[in-house]
Chains A and B, each alone.
Chain A
Amino acid sequence: MNPLELAQARPAPAFTVTLDGREIEALPGQTVAAALWTAGITSWRSTRGEGRPRGVFCGIGVCYDCLVTVNDRPNQRACLVPLKPGDAIRTQEGTGHGG
């Protein structure tokens, strides 16, 4: 049984967001991290020094490993930010400030 079934969730209809331009589905109430996990994606950032991939680590906003760019705002914590229809998520390299 998946967690949505286990909790007998009846979410409002799914909507579309994009990850680097690619469309993925999200449910109302899901955070960026939850939608990406559900889409089978576990990393969405590379580190500043070694360029290593990272995703969720602490899940509660303490570790800052899950940083992502949402609607052109870099360094958002994917585990905290809820999604809205049409949001554009971009994987983030280094500080997320380009260059």
Chain B
Amino acid sequence: MAAERPHLAVIGAGPAGLAATLAAARHGVRVTLVDSAPEAGGQFYRQPARELGARRPEALHHEWRTWERLRDGLRTHQRAGSAAHLTDHHVWLVERRPGGFTVHALLGPEQAEPAEVRADAVLLATGGYEKVLPFPGWTLPGVVTAGGAQAMLKGTLSVSGRTAVVAGTGPLLLPVATGLAAAGVRVAALVESADPRDFVRRSRALSAQPAKLAEGARYAAQLARHRVRTLVHHTVVEAHGTDRLEAVTVAGLDRSGRVRPGTERRIACDTLAVGHGMLPHTDLAQGLGCRIDGVAVHVDDEQRTDVPGVWAAGEATGIGGAALSLAEGHIAGRSIAARLTGGEPDPHDWAGAGRARTALRRFFATLDEVYAPPAHWAEQLTDDTVVCRCEEVTGGAIREAVTGLGAGDQRTVKLLTRAGMGWCQGRMCGSAVAGLVGCPETAARRPFARPVPLGVLARAGEAPEAEVPEADV
């Protein structure tokens, strides 16, 4: 009888986690893929709920063929017993113990029942979430994050209204605007605060990515076909309405990123999909004591964190899109397989993925410089604009903490004002608070990745181990 395969727990079934699962399972590792969603796919390959019976889900996606390959690969490994997929498992803590790890999860949308997975190694592939900077009216119903509009569309085939404005900065605005338009929403404007001409000027990184150029051209054609007006170097300065969104005011920006007086115009809409980039999920890594650089999990060339036995891949290690997540996931899976089966990995085994990773990281570093939020975004923020959505802390209260009480970092503002103390634990207001303080943005330390019922905490370590199949090797 063959020796039992080593066991890897992958947290997150997006592009990174799926690529890693396939690579590790193919090379002698038994993998348990743990994800909070009811279906695999993550944000990029988010699937409509099965009961909706979508016969053409690909109508809302790009890169569908890649998804099919990942999905079929996962099924093959599931059938062979080399991979298991635990859906609806919300991981709140990964614990390091002698000789391995325990993954603590809560089951189902209500997250009341605990479950545990024990493994020899862990891959964190938890992706990221969207960053939105505040402006007057951003708490009105009808204002949603750009990715949120996309997630609702892809996952539930629903939209919030009839006329949308898509605004903010970054490449995610393009699939969101074209997706909403294809789904029958009138997209009154796509408002991008950056100036794509800056991007063309940095053409070296761009010309190295012909696929990205073609992708951009495809979006441009779709926007034209749906008659979506694009305003570049513009920003939303206010959302209007009493109980729900009725209109937005947008304005042009000057070269320094300041609103140009007199350029304001009002656009009627019932939906505003807005986003200013993404932030990595780092809570589980922080809980394990992994080094964090700025806002992302630090990894080496093999995608290893600085904690032995813990790897990280995809947007948890820095924002860079689905293709980069796939490359990083693949490299992590190969490295884990080699190291868990007692060998030294040979980077030649993943040379192609390694080259893709280098090129895409360079490309996204350039994107990051160009698609930065307007430098003077905070000038739009009035003293009564809510900044912390959970605790309803206003811009005025935060400015008072900074200028009146001398707060110099996010943590002190939190203690003085409660900004970041609510349900979302500062995930929604952290960037804005850092911007108002004028300090660098850092990943806030949170004891758990999710709120945990006290009863579950008290019983941690006694939960039944989740069913995982034995490998048939």
Contact = CB atoms under 8 A, between A and B. Distances in A.
A65 to B, nearest CB: 6
Contacts of A1: 182-184
A13 B317 CA distance: 43
Contacts of B48: 7, 9, 29
Contact of B54 (A9, A33, A34): A9
Contacts of A82: 38, 49, 109
B247 interface: no
Interface in A1-17: 1-12
Most chain B C-beta atoms within 10 Å of own C-beta, residue among A5, A38, A57 = A57
Contacts of A7: 48, 52, 54-57, 59-60, 157
A11 B50 CA distance: 9
Given A3-B158, A9-B53, A57 B151 contact: no
Main secondary structure, interface of A, reads loop
A76 B184 CA distance: 29
A63 to B, nearest CB: 5
Interface string B142-158: 11110111111101111
Nearest to A62: B129
B286 to A, nearest CB: 16
A11 B52 contact: yes
Interface stretch (B74-82, B339-347, B419-427): B419-427
A61 B36 contact: yes
Given A3-B159, A56-B152, A81-B109, A63 B141 contact: no
Contacts of A85: none
8 contacts: A3-B60, A6-B60, A27-B52, A29-B51, A53-B141, A57-B144, A57-B145, A81-B109
Interface of B: 36, 38, 43, 48-57, 59-60, 109-110, 129-130, 139-145, 147-153, 155-161, 182-184, 243-244, 270, 389-392, 422-424, 427-428
